[in-house]
Structure 1
């Protein structure tokens, strides 16, 4: 099992990776743009994708649409991480295949719950 974080801001990527490492022993990969993340998804199957909405080159929504075209990613959880609170974005993202949302700044308890919900307790190192 492994998780791919797609985040162009190095600080945000580091924070999300740190939260993930505290919650799970799952291998964590980071891509800074949609194109490199898409290439990684073609080379490997991740058990979860954590995707920023605003990315250079292609948006998070464009990335999600492209990933969902791959059969092996049909049922993989994709979480959009964004500071945007516009309800229309959530509607468009759900239609594109986003499974869940996390709002920035990412809160540790909500992040852990999201991992539990989508990867199961077996993916977590500890319950507290």
Structure 2
């Protein structure tokens, strides 16, 4: 199985990928464009989606809405990671189908715990130790 990170900033994508690797051995795929990421989701099922909101082509919210229309993604956790701190965005994201919401800059321990909790494979005490 694999995790899909949809993030157009290469530095942010690298940081998120590095943090996720601390708690999973799953393949991690990075896509910089929402439309291309949506095409990937049509072709395969990811175990988790980590999505920025500000993307070229379509917003993270538009991406989530489109993914949630695919029945095979009904139970797949989607984490939105964005620099936008507006409470309105958080509410809209949850209403759209986002499972969890983190703001940038990402706090490493909280991010690793969130990923581990959703993947169900790494106890919280191991997350802090990695």
Q: Which residue of 2 aligns with 1:54?
A: 54
Give the root-mean-square deviation of aligned CA atoms.
1.5
Structure 2 vs 1, CA of residues 123 and 56 (structure 1 numbering), >3 Å: closer, same or farther?
farther
Structure 2 vs 1, CA of residues 55 and 16 (structure 1 numbering), >3 Å: closer, same or farther?
same
Structure 1: state its 5+ residue gaps: none
Could you report, residue by residue, the CA deviation over 1:56-93 in whole angstroms, capped at 9, with x for unpaired residues? 11000000000000000011000000111111101111
Shift of 1:121: 2.4
Q: Which residue of 2 aligns with 1:91?
A: 91
Q: Distance in 2 between matches of 1:123 and 1:14?
A: 24
Q: Which residue of 2 aligns with 1:67?
A: 67
Q: Is 1:118 matched with 2:104?
A: no
Shift of 1:37: 0.3
Q: Distance in 2 between matches of 1:121 and 1:110?
A: 16
TM-score, normalised to structure 2's length?
Answer: 0.92
Q: Distance in 1 between matches of 2:122 and 2:89?
A: 32
Q: Distance in 2 between matches of 1:57 and 1:103?
A: 21
> Which shows bigger deviation, 51-60 or 110-119?
110-119
Q: Distance in 2 between matches of 1:115 and 1:10?
A: 20
Asked if structure 2 preserves the Cα contact closer than 8 Å seen for 1:47 and 1:77, the reply is yes
Structure 1 moving runs of 4+ over 6 Å:
none
Secondary structure at 1:105's aligned position in 2?
A: coil
